[in-house]
Amino acid sequence: MDETIRKRQRRKDERPGEIMSAALQEFALNGFAGAKLTQVARRAGISHGTIYNYFDTKEALFRALFRAHFVEPLGDEQMVDAFGDAPFADILRAILRVAFRQAAHSEAVVLMRILLLEWQRFPDLAEECYRELFGKAEAMLRQLIDYGIARGELAPSRIDDSPLVLLAPGINAALFGPLSGLPDWEERAEIAIDAFAESFVRGLRKP
């Protein structure tokens, strides 16, 4: 009996996650208004009525989705440490590449994309997600720049106060790339991001 209870319990515990996972896809594809709960249910392999055993309304499901995802960060703040004492430029390039890949695929970023359209309907969510996502990212980049300065590679500059601009090309590419219809947009993006990192460190000016 312990066995059966555990099995059932496991099911009950997993359901919300399964539903939210299915909902994420549906919302991402169709936005809030366009998402159909029947379709969410179908994706989750359950009946639509079951959704209501776990979420009171469509909006509650939507909010739960965000609440659940905005604890795990875009990238871990410790990411910089992982690179040992590599040159700044190498670390920057590596981080931008990873960030781009995450931005292109992570669930948190999919949710941000949804918010780009729905934020006027959910201003509280928008704000919270914005802070969570960009706050983490900014801290990480600041740490990286400090590392570069400490290592004697970088000169202090006004960028120190707006480190997020370093991520902009990656985020942008992740957002708009799919719209291009090009099959190789991800590779192109990575090349551009590499070039960006390199040039940004060296400067565009003629030496």
Partner DNA sequence: GATGAATGAGCTTTCATTCAT
Partner DNA sequence: AATGAATGAAAGCTCATTCAT
Binding residues vs DNA (CB under 7 A):
4-5, 7-8, 11-12, 15, 35-38, 46-50, 52-54, 56-59
Residues 16-23: contacts with CB within 8 Å, 24+ apart? 16/54, 16/55, 16/64, 18/44, 18/45, 18/46, 19/44, 19/46, 19/50, 19/51, 19/54, 19/55, 19/61, 20/61, 20/64, 20/65, 20/68, 23/61, 23/62, 23/65
Neighbours of 6 (CB within 10 A): 10
| 47 binds its own copies per the rule CB under 8 A | no
Q: In whole angstroms, how close is the CB of 111 to its own copies at the nearest point?
A: 11
Judged by phi (left if over 0) then psi (alpha if -120 to 50, else beta), residue 47 lies in: beta
Q: 68 contacts which partner out of DNA, its own copies, none, CB within 5 to 8 A by kind?
A: none
Of 46 and 94, CB closest to DNA = 46
Q: What is the rounded end-to-end Cα distance, in angstroms, of the chain? A: 77
Residue 67 or 142 with smaller CB distance to DNA: 67
Asked if 59 interacts with its own copies (CB under 8 A), we say no
Cα gap 10→4, rounded to integer Å: 10
Nearer to DNA, 63 or 97 (CB): 63
Binding of its own copies by 187 (CB under 8 A): no
Site string for its own copies, 23-42 (x = CB under 8 A): ------xxxxxx--------
Task: Please tell me whether residue 116 binds its own copies under the rule CB under 8 A.
Answer: yes
49 binds, among DNA, its own copies, none (CB under 5 to 8 A by kind): DNA
Q: What is the DSSP letter of 42?
A: H
Of the pair 37, 133, the CB lying nearest DNA is at: 37
| Contact yes or no for 18/65 (Cβ under 8 A) | no
Query: Applying CB under 8 A, does 104 fall inside the site for its own copies?
Result: no
Of the pair 20, 109, the CB lying nearest its own copies is at 109
Residue of 110, 46, 115 whose CA lies nearest to 74: 110
Size of the site for its own copies (CB under 8 A): 63
Please give the distance of CA 119 from its chain centroid, rounded to a whole number: 16
Based on CB atoms, which residue is closest to its own copies, 17 or 180?
A: 180
Question: Is 164 one of the binding residues for its own copies (CB under 8 A)?
Answer: yes
